[in-house]
Amino acid sequence: MKKTLNLCIIGAGAVFRLMHLPALLNLNDKFRIKSVYDPDPKALSKTAKVLSRRTKDPMFTACPAEILSDEGIDAVAVLTPTSAHFRYTIDSLKKRKHVFLEKPAAVNLQDVKKIITAERKYRRFVQVGMVLRYSSFYLELKKLIDSGKYGKVLWMNWLETRPFDPMLWRYNNTKLNGDAIIHDKAIHQINLFNDFAGAKPKCVLASGGQYLLSGSRYSKVRAFSSEVKLKGESCDHLMAIIEYKNKVKASLTVSYVSPHARESRWIIQLESAKIVAHFETFVSRSPGTKHKWNGNPSCIYLFKDNRNQEIPWKHPMSYPPQDKNLVFYDEYKNEPLHPGSTAQWIAFYDSIINNRKPVCNTALALEDIAAANAIASSIKKGKVIRLQKSLRLL
Protein backbone atom coordinates (compact mmCIF):
# COMPACT_ATOMS: atom_id res chain seq x y z
CA MET A 1 0.00 0.00 0.00
CA LYS A 2 1.32 3.44 -0.91
CA LYS A 3 2.01 5.84 1.91
CA THR A 4 0.46 9.31 1.97
CA LEU A 5 3.14 11.85 2.87
CA ASN A 6 2.45 14.70 5.27
CA LEU A 7 3.59 17.96 3.72
CA CYS A 8 4.32 21.35 5.29
CA ILE A 9 4.09 24.46 3.10
CA ILE A 10 6.37 27.44 3.81
CA GLY A 11 5.29 30.27 1.53
CA ALA A 12 1.68 30.43 0.34
CA GLY A 13 1.97 33.11 -2.33
CA ALA A 14 0.55 33.22 -5.85
CA VAL A 15 2.93 30.60 -7.27
CA PHE A 16 1.85 28.13 -4.60
CA ARG A 17 -1.86 28.85 -5.00
CA LEU A 18 -1.90 28.86 -8.82
CA MET A 19 0.53 26.04 -9.65
CA HIS A 20 1.58 23.89 -6.71
CA LEU A 21 -1.70 23.73 -4.80
CA PRO A 22 -3.87 22.47 -7.72
CA ALA A 23 -1.25 19.81 -8.47
CA LEU A 24 -1.09 18.68 -4.84
CA LEU A 25 -4.87 18.56 -4.48
CA ASN A 26 -4.99 16.27 -7.51
CA LEU A 27 -2.42 14.03 -5.82
CA ASN A 28 -4.27 13.60 -2.53
CA ASP A 29 -3.42 9.88 -2.51
CA LYS A 30 0.26 10.87 -2.28
CA PHE A 31 0.32 14.12 -0.30
CA ARG A 32 -1.65 15.53 2.62
CA ILE A 33 -1.06 19.23 3.27
CA LYS A 34 -0.82 19.19 7.04
CA SER A 35 0.38 22.73 7.78
CA VAL A 36 0.89 26.07 6.03
CA TYR A 37 3.06 29.03 7.01
CA ASP A 38 3.28 32.48 5.47
CA PRO A 39 4.07 35.81 7.17
CA ASP A 40 1.32 37.48 5.10
CA PRO A 41 -2.16 36.95 6.64
CA LYS A 42 -3.75 37.61 3.24
CA ALA A 43 -1.84 34.72 1.69
CA LEU A 44 -2.97 32.40 4.48
CA SER A 45 -6.56 33.58 4.13
CA LYS A 46 -6.60 32.99 0.37
CA THR A 47 -5.08 29.53 0.81
CA ALA A 48 -7.54 28.63 3.57
CA LYS A 49 -10.42 29.65 1.33
CA VAL A 50 -9.27 27.25 -1.41
CA LEU A 51 -8.53 24.40 0.97
CA SER A 52 -11.81 24.72 2.85
CA ARG A 53 -13.59 23.44 -0.25
CA ARG A 54 -11.45 20.28 -0.25
CA THR A 55 -10.26 19.60 3.29
CA LYS A 56 -10.16 21.17 6.76
CA ASP A 57 -6.97 19.42 7.86
CA PRO A 58 -4.20 22.03 7.49
CA MET A 59 -2.98 24.09 10.40
CA PHE A 60 -2.26 27.72 9.50
CA THR A 61 0.39 29.49 11.51
CA ALA A 62 2.59 32.56 11.67
CA CYS A 63 5.34 30.56 13.39
CA PRO A 64 7.41 28.31 11.09
CA ALA A 65 9.34 26.73 13.98
CA GLU A 66 6.09 25.32 15.33
CA ILE A 67 5.33 23.28 12.23
CA LEU A 68 8.92 22.29 11.46
CA SER A 69 9.10 20.66 14.90
CA ASP A 70 6.11 18.45 14.07
CA GLU A 71 7.47 14.89 13.89
CA GLY A 72 4.50 13.90 11.76
CA ILE A 73 5.77 16.03 8.84
CA ASP A 74 7.61 14.01 6.18
CA ALA A 75 8.57 16.82 3.81
CA VAL A 76 8.60 20.60 3.53
CA ALA A 77 7.90 22.72 0.45
CA VAL A 78 9.91 25.96 0.59
CA LEU A 79 8.06 28.31 -1.77
CA THR A 80 9.20 31.67 -0.44
CA PRO A 81 11.07 34.48 -2.20
CA THR A 82 14.65 33.40 -2.95
CA SER A 83 16.12 35.39 -0.07
CA ALA A 84 14.52 32.97 2.46
CA HIS A 85 15.31 29.71 0.64
CA PHE A 86 18.58 28.94 2.42
CA ARG A 87 17.30 29.55 5.96
CA TYR A 88 14.14 27.44 5.68
CA THR A 89 15.86 24.65 3.75
CA ILE A 90 18.61 24.28 6.35
CA ASP A 91 16.06 24.41 9.21
CA SER A 92 13.97 21.71 7.51
CA LEU A 93 16.94 19.41 6.90
CA LYS A 94 18.02 19.78 10.54
CA LYS A 95 14.56 18.55 11.51
CA ARG A 96 15.16 15.62 9.13
CA LYS A 97 12.55 16.62 6.56
CA HIS A 98 12.97 16.16 2.83
CA VAL A 99 12.63 19.46 0.97
CA PHE A 100 10.96 20.59 -2.23
CA LEU A 101 12.71 23.89 -2.94
CA GLU A 102 11.50 26.42 -5.50
CA LYS A 103 14.06 27.64 -7.99
CA PRO A 104 16.57 29.11 -7.85
CA ALA A 105 17.89 27.15 -4.89
CA ALA A 106 19.84 30.24 -3.80
CA VAL A 107 21.83 33.08 -5.29
CA ASN A 108 25.01 32.58 -3.28
CA LEU A 109 26.92 29.47 -4.39
CA GLN A 110 28.26 28.94 -0.88
CA ASP A 111 24.68 28.62 0.36
CA VAL A 112 24.03 25.83 -2.15
CA LYS A 113 27.20 24.06 -1.05
CA LYS A 114 26.08 24.31 2.59
CA ILE A 115 22.72 22.81 1.65
CA ILE A 116 24.53 19.90 -0.03
CA THR A 117 26.58 19.36 3.14
CA ALA A 118 23.39 19.39 5.25
CA GLU A 119 21.72 16.85 2.96
CA ARG A 120 24.59 14.45 3.55
CA LYS A 121 24.74 15.10 7.31
CA TYR A 122 21.02 14.63 7.97
CA ARG A 123 20.48 11.99 5.28
CA ARG A 124 17.70 13.85 3.56
CA PHE A 125 17.53 15.34 0.08
CA VAL A 126 16.36 18.49 -1.65
CA GLN A 127 14.52 18.53 -4.98
CA VAL A 128 14.81 21.88 -6.77
CA GLY A 129 11.65 23.02 -8.57
CA MET A 130 12.98 23.10 -12.13
CA VAL A 131 9.52 22.33 -13.45
CA LEU A 132 10.47 22.09 -17.15
CA ARG A 133 12.71 19.08 -16.41
CA TYR A 134 9.57 17.09 -15.59
CA SER A 135 7.51 18.13 -18.61
CA SER A 136 6.85 15.91 -21.62
CA PHE A 137 8.27 18.80 -23.70
CA TYR A 138 11.71 18.35 -22.10
CA LEU A 139 11.50 14.55 -22.17
CA GLU A 140 10.86 14.58 -25.93
CA LEU A 141 13.76 16.96 -26.57
CA LYS A 142 15.97 14.76 -24.38
CA LYS A 143 14.90 11.64 -26.27
CA LEU A 144 15.68 13.19 -29.67
CA ILE A 145 19.10 14.40 -28.54
CA ASP A 146 20.13 11.27 -26.62
CA SER A 147 19.05 8.90 -29.41
CA GLY A 148 22.22 9.74 -31.34
CA LYS A 149 20.31 9.38 -34.61
CA TYR A 150 21.12 12.93 -35.64
CA GLY A 151 24.61 13.28 -34.17
CA LYS A 152 25.79 15.39 -31.29
CA VAL A 153 24.65 18.86 -30.32
CA LEU A 154 26.60 21.64 -32.03
CA TRP A 155 24.84 24.77 -30.76
CA MET A 156 21.61 25.86 -29.07
CA ASN A 157 19.56 29.04 -29.02
CA TRP A 158 16.65 30.20 -26.88
CA LEU A 159 14.60 33.35 -27.40
CA GLU A 160 11.87 34.57 -25.08
CA THR A 161 9.96 37.85 -25.29
CA ARG A 162 7.16 38.59 -22.87
CA PRO A 163 5.55 41.21 -20.61
CA PHE A 164 6.79 41.71 -17.04
CA ASP A 165 5.80 39.56 -14.09
CA PRO A 166 3.75 41.79 -11.74
CA MET A 167 5.48 40.71 -8.48
CA LEU A 168 7.59 43.63 -7.22
CA TRP A 169 9.90 41.52 -5.03
CA ARG A 170 11.35 39.82 -8.12
CA TYR A 171 13.08 43.04 -9.16
CA ASN A 172 14.29 44.31 -5.78
CA ASN A 173 17.47 43.39 -3.91
CA THR A 174 19.28 41.32 -6.55
CA LYS A 175 21.94 40.41 -4.00
CA LEU A 176 19.43 38.32 -2.01
CA ASN A 177 16.70 37.48 -4.56
CA GLY A 178 18.82 37.34 -7.70
CA ASP A 179 18.12 39.09 -10.97
CA ALA A 180 14.51 38.51 -12.11
CA ILE A 181 15.35 37.87 -15.73
CA ILE A 182 18.47 35.77 -14.99
CA HIS A 183 17.88 33.80 -11.79
CA ASP A 184 14.10 33.48 -12.05
CA LYS A 185 13.52 33.18 -15.81
CA ALA A 186 16.69 32.20 -17.70
CA ILE A 187 17.59 29.66 -14.99
CA HIS A 188 15.10 27.25 -16.61
CA GLN A 189 16.87 27.36 -19.95
CA ILE A 190 20.32 27.29 -18.38
CA ASN A 191 19.27 24.09 -16.60
CA LEU A 192 18.20 22.42 -19.85
CA PHE A 193 21.17 23.70 -21.85
CA ASN A 194 23.52 22.34 -19.18
CA ASP A 195 21.84 18.96 -19.64
CA PHE A 196 21.70 18.93 -23.46
CA ALA A 197 25.30 20.15 -23.88
CA GLY A 198 26.72 16.97 -22.35
CA ALA A 199 29.48 18.90 -20.55
CA LYS A 200 29.95 21.46 -17.82
CA PRO A 201 29.80 25.18 -18.64
CA LYS A 202 33.24 26.66 -19.22
CA CYS A 203 32.74 30.41 -19.73
CA VAL A 204 30.06 33.05 -20.29
CA LEU A 205 29.85 36.34 -22.18
CA ALA A 206 26.72 38.44 -21.70
CA SER A 207 25.22 41.87 -22.20
CA GLY A 208 22.06 43.28 -20.67
CA GLY A 209 20.54 46.08 -18.68
CA GLN A 210 17.42 48.17 -18.27
CA TYR A 211 15.28 49.71 -21.00
CA LEU A 212 12.12 50.27 -18.96
CA LEU A 213 12.98 49.35 -15.36
CA SER A 214 14.73 51.75 -13.02
CA GLY A 215 16.20 51.28 -9.57
CA SER A 216 15.34 54.82 -8.50
CA ARG A 217 11.80 55.42 -9.75
CA TYR A 218 8.63 53.49 -10.54
CA SER A 219 7.86 52.89 -14.21
CA LYS A 220 4.51 51.88 -15.65
CA VAL A 221 5.07 48.64 -17.58
CA ARG A 222 2.93 45.97 -19.19
CA ALA A 223 2.31 42.83 -17.17
CA PHE A 224 0.29 39.89 -18.54
CA SER A 225 -3.20 41.22 -17.83
CA SER A 226 -2.70 44.87 -16.88
CA GLU A 227 -0.24 47.72 -16.53
CA VAL A 228 1.66 47.85 -13.24
CA LYS A 229 4.22 50.11 -11.61
CA LEU A 230 7.57 48.46 -10.93
CA LYS A 231 11.08 49.48 -9.98
CA GLY A 232 14.20 47.53 -9.10
CA GLU A 233 17.79 46.63 -9.82
CA SER A 234 17.11 43.69 -12.16
CA CYS A 235 17.76 43.69 -15.88
CA ASP A 236 14.74 43.72 -18.17
CA HIS A 237 16.65 42.25 -21.13
CA LEU A 238 19.79 40.22 -21.77
CA MET A 239 21.78 38.38 -24.40
CA ALA A 240 24.25 35.72 -23.31
CA ILE A 241 26.51 33.03 -24.77
CA ILE A 242 27.58 29.99 -22.74
CA GLU A 243 30.49 27.89 -24.00
CA TYR A 244 30.86 24.35 -22.65
CA LYS A 245 34.00 22.31 -22.15
CA ASN A 246 33.18 20.17 -25.21
CA LYS A 247 32.90 23.37 -27.38
CA VAL A 248 29.08 23.26 -27.57
CA LYS A 249 27.72 26.81 -27.47
CA ALA A 250 24.36 28.07 -26.24
CA SER A 251 22.88 31.54 -26.66
CA LEU A 252 20.02 33.11 -24.71
CA THR A 253 18.00 36.21 -25.53
CA VAL A 254 15.38 37.30 -23.00
CA SER A 255 13.26 40.45 -23.02
CA TYR A 256 10.55 41.57 -20.63
CA VAL A 257 9.94 44.80 -22.55
CA SER A 258 7.58 43.33 -25.14
CA PRO A 259 3.90 44.15 -24.46
CA HIS A 260 2.81 41.37 -26.79
CA ALA A 261 2.02 37.73 -26.10
CA ARG A 262 4.84 35.52 -25.01
CA GLU A 263 7.13 33.87 -27.52
CA SER A 264 9.46 31.14 -26.30
CA ARG A 265 11.38 29.47 -29.11
CA TRP A 266 14.24 27.01 -29.09
CA ILE A 267 16.62 25.97 -31.87
CA ILE A 268 18.95 23.03 -31.24
CA GLN A 269 21.35 22.28 -34.07
CA LEU A 270 22.54 18.68 -34.27
CA GLU A 271 25.08 17.32 -36.76
CA SER A 272 22.42 16.10 -39.19
CA ALA A 273 19.15 17.74 -38.10
CA LYS A 274 17.69 20.90 -36.64
CA ILE A 275 15.17 20.91 -33.80
CA VAL A 276 12.83 23.91 -33.55
CA ALA A 277 10.67 23.91 -30.43
CA HIS A 278 7.95 26.33 -29.39
CA PHE A 279 7.13 26.26 -25.68
CA GLU A 280 3.54 27.31 -24.92
CA THR A 281 2.76 28.66 -28.38
CA PHE A 282 0.59 31.76 -28.64
CA VAL A 283 -0.35 31.57 -32.32
CA SER A 284 -3.27 30.44 -34.44
CA ARG A 285 -3.11 26.96 -35.91
CA SER A 286 -2.12 26.52 -39.54
CA PRO A 287 -4.68 25.45 -42.18
CA GLY A 288 -5.00 21.70 -42.51
CA THR A 289 -3.50 20.75 -39.15
CA LYS A 290 -5.03 17.73 -37.43
CA HIS A 291 -4.65 19.29 -34.00
CA LYS A 292 -7.24 21.46 -32.25
CA TRP A 293 -4.67 24.02 -31.10
CA ASN A 294 -6.65 24.82 -27.95
CA GLY A 295 -4.98 26.71 -25.14
CA ASN A 296 -1.25 27.28 -25.59
CA PRO A 297 0.27 24.02 -26.85
CA SER A 298 3.97 23.22 -26.87
CA CYS A 299 5.36 21.84 -30.12
CA ILE A 300 8.61 20.34 -31.37
CA TYR A 301 9.57 20.20 -35.06
CA LEU A 302 12.38 18.15 -36.55
CA PHE A 303 14.05 19.12 -39.83
CA LYS A 304 16.38 16.40 -41.08
CA ASP A 305 19.27 17.38 -43.34
CA ASN A 306 18.54 16.58 -46.97
CA ARG A 307 21.81 16.67 -48.87
CA ASN A 308 20.06 15.81 -52.14
CA GLN A 309 18.35 19.16 -52.02
CA GLU A 310 19.35 21.56 -54.76
CA ILE A 311 21.52 24.54 -53.95
CA PRO A 312 20.56 27.22 -53.01
CA TRP A 313 18.89 25.36 -50.16
CA LYS A 314 15.26 25.92 -49.34
CA HIS A 315 15.08 26.36 -45.61
CA PRO A 316 11.96 24.80 -44.04
CA MET A 317 9.97 27.15 -41.85
CA SER A 318 8.51 26.21 -38.46
CA TYR A 319 5.98 29.08 -38.39
CA PRO A 320 3.11 28.75 -38.93
CA PRO A 321 2.97 25.22 -37.47
CA GLN A 322 3.24 22.49 -40.10
CA ASP A 323 2.25 18.90 -39.32
CA LYS A 324 4.79 17.35 -41.71
CA ASN A 325 7.69 18.24 -39.41
CA LEU A 326 5.79 18.01 -36.14
CA VAL A 327 7.20 15.33 -33.82
CA PHE A 328 5.61 16.50 -30.54
CA TYR A 329 2.37 18.28 -29.61
CA ASP A 330 0.86 18.69 -26.15
CA GLU A 331 -1.84 21.02 -24.81
CA TYR A 332 -1.07 20.11 -21.16
CA LYS A 333 -4.70 19.99 -20.14
CA ASN A 334 -3.86 18.07 -16.97
CA GLU A 335 -1.04 20.36 -15.84
CA PRO A 336 -2.08 23.40 -13.76
CA LEU A 337 -0.46 26.64 -14.94
CA HIS A 338 2.84 25.14 -16.15
CA PRO A 339 3.91 21.97 -18.02
CA GLY A 340 5.55 19.59 -15.54
CA SER A 341 3.83 21.06 -12.49
CA THR A 342 2.16 17.77 -11.53
CA ALA A 343 4.95 15.50 -12.76
CA GLN A 344 7.54 17.20 -10.53
CA TRP A 345 5.47 16.41 -7.43
CA ILE A 346 5.03 12.78 -8.49
CA ALA A 347 8.82 12.58 -8.90
CA PHE A 348 9.32 14.12 -5.45
CA TYR A 349 6.97 11.56 -3.94
CA ASP A 350 8.72 8.66 -5.70
CA SER A 351 12.14 9.90 -4.56
CA ILE A 352 11.04 9.92 -0.92
CA ILE A 353 9.26 6.56 -1.05
CA ASN A 354 12.15 4.88 -2.89
CA ASN A 355 14.91 6.81 -1.07
CA ARG A 356 16.30 7.94 -4.42
CA LYS A 357 18.17 11.14 -5.28
CA PRO A 358 15.95 13.53 -7.29
CA VAL A 359 16.64 14.29 -10.94
CA CYS A 360 16.72 18.03 -10.19
CA ASN A 361 19.10 17.86 -7.27
CA THR A 362 21.31 20.44 -5.59
CA ALA A 363 24.46 19.38 -7.47
CA LEU A 364 22.75 20.35 -10.74
CA ALA A 365 21.43 23.52 -9.10
CA LEU A 366 25.03 24.48 -8.32
CA GLU A 367 25.92 24.35 -12.04
CA ASP A 368 22.77 26.31 -12.98
CA ILE A 369 23.41 29.07 -10.46
CA ALA A 370 27.11 29.25 -11.31
CA ALA A 371 26.17 29.92 -14.94
CA ALA A 372 23.44 32.42 -13.92
CA ASN A 373 25.85 34.28 -11.64
CA ALA A 374 28.44 34.32 -14.43
CA ILE A 375 25.87 35.95 -16.75
CA ALA A 376 25.12 38.61 -14.13
CA SER A 377 28.85 39.19 -13.55
CA SER A 378 29.61 39.40 -17.28
CA ILE A 379 26.88 42.02 -17.75
CA LYS A 380 28.27 44.05 -14.85
CA LYS A 381 31.95 43.75 -15.75
CA GLY A 382 31.67 43.64 -19.54
CA LYS A 383 34.00 40.68 -19.95
CA VAL A 384 34.15 36.89 -20.30
CA ILE A 385 33.62 35.05 -17.00
CA ARG A 386 35.16 31.61 -16.46
CA LEU A 387 33.41 29.08 -14.21
CA GLN A 388 35.92 26.38 -13.26
CA LYS A 389 36.51 27.45 -9.63
CA SER A 390 32.85 28.13 -8.85
CA LEU A 391 31.85 24.59 -9.83
CA ARG A 392 33.99 22.91 -7.21
CA LEU A 393 31.47 21.39 -4.84
CA LEU A 394 33.22 21.49 -1.50
Topology of domain 136-332+374-378, CATH: Dihydrodipicolinate Reductase; domain 2 (3.30.360)
User: What was the pLDDT predicted at 283?
Assistant: 65
Q: Write out pLDDT tens, residues 375-394.
A: 999 999 999 999 876 666 54
> What is the dihedral sign for C-alpha 245, 248, 253, 254?
negative
Q: Which helix (H) or strand (E) holds 372?
A: helix 362-381
User: What was the pLDDT predicted at 104?
Assistant: 95
Q: Which CATH architecture has domain 5-132+340-361?
A: 3-Layer(aba) Sandwich (3.40)
**pLDDT of 1 over the 50 cut:** no
Q: Write out pLDDT tens, residues 231-287.
A: 999 999 999 999 999 999 999 999 999 877 778 899 999 999 999 998 877 666 777
In the predicted model, what is the mean pLDDT of residues 62-78? 91
Mean pLDDT for the chain overall: 90
User: What was the pLDDT predicted at 302?
Assistant: 92
Q: What span, in angstroms and rounded, lies between the C-alpha atoms of 126 and 118?
A: 10
User: What was the pLDDT predicted at 67?
Assistant: 86
| pTM (two decimals) | 0.93
Higher model confidence: residue 263 or residue 294? 263
Higher model confidence: residue 114 or residue 57? 114
- Strand spans (E) along the chain: 5-10, 31-37, 59-61, 75-78, 98-102, 126-129, 153-161, 201-209, 219-222, 227-230, 237-244, 249-255, 263-270, 273-278, 298-304, 326-330, 385-386
**pLDDT of 309 over the 70 cut:** no
Q: Write out pLDDT tens, residues 152-168.
A: 999 999 999 999 988 88
pLDDT band of residue 321 (cuts 50, 70, 90) is low
pLDDT band of residue 56 (cuts 50, 70, 90) is low
User: What was the pLDDT predicted at 188?
Assistant: 95
3-state class of 281 per DSSP? coil
- Rounded to the nearest 10 degrees, the angle between the axes of helix 109-122 and helix 362-381 is 170
Domain boundary assignment for the chain: 5-132+340-361, 136-332+374-378
User: What was the pLDDT predicted at 319?
Assistant: 62
3-state class of 93 per DSSP? helix
Report in angstroms the alpha-carbon separations of 31 from 23, 57, 232, 352.
10, 12, 37, 12
User: What was the pLDDT predicted at 256?
Assistant: 93
Higher model confidence: residue 365 or residue 316? 365
Q: What span, in angstroms and rounded, lies between the C-alpha atoms of 225 and 227?
A: 7
Report in angstroms the alpha-carbon separations of 78 from 10, 101, 208.
5, 5, 30
Cβ–Cβ < 8 Å for 3, 29: no
Q: What span, in angstroms and rounded, lies between the C-alpha atoms of 158 and 186?
A: 9
Q: Write out pLDDT tens, residues 331-363.
A: 887 787 788 999 999 999 999 999 999 999 999
Q: What span, in angstroms and rounded, lies between the C-alpha atoms of 175 and 383?
A: 20
- The secondary structure of 102-156 as a DSSP string is ESSS-SSHHHHHHHHHHHHHHT--EEEE-GGGGSHHHHHHHHHHHT-TT--EEEE
Q: Write out pLDDT tens, residues 87-135.
A: 999 999 999 999 999 999 999 999 999 999 999 999 999 999 999 999 9
Same CATH fold assignment for domains 5-132+340-361 and 136-332+374-378: no
Residues 6+ apart with CB under 8 A from 120: none
Report in angstroms the alpha-carbon separations of 390 from 110, 132, 139, 199, 366.
9, 25, 29, 15, 9
Report in angstroms the alpha-carbon separations of 142 from 132, 150, 169, 197, 351.
12, 13, 34, 11, 21
Kindly tell me the burial class for residue 344, based on how many C-beta atoms sit within 10 Å of its own C-beta (0-12, 13-18, 19 or more).
buried
Q: What span, in angstroms and rounded, lies between the C-alpha atoms of 342 and 349?
A: 11
**pLDDT of 41 over the 60 cut:** yes
> What is the dihedral sign for C-alpha 286, 287, 291, 292?
positive
Name the β-bridge partners of 269: 155, 274
**pLDDT of 84 over the 50 cut:** yes
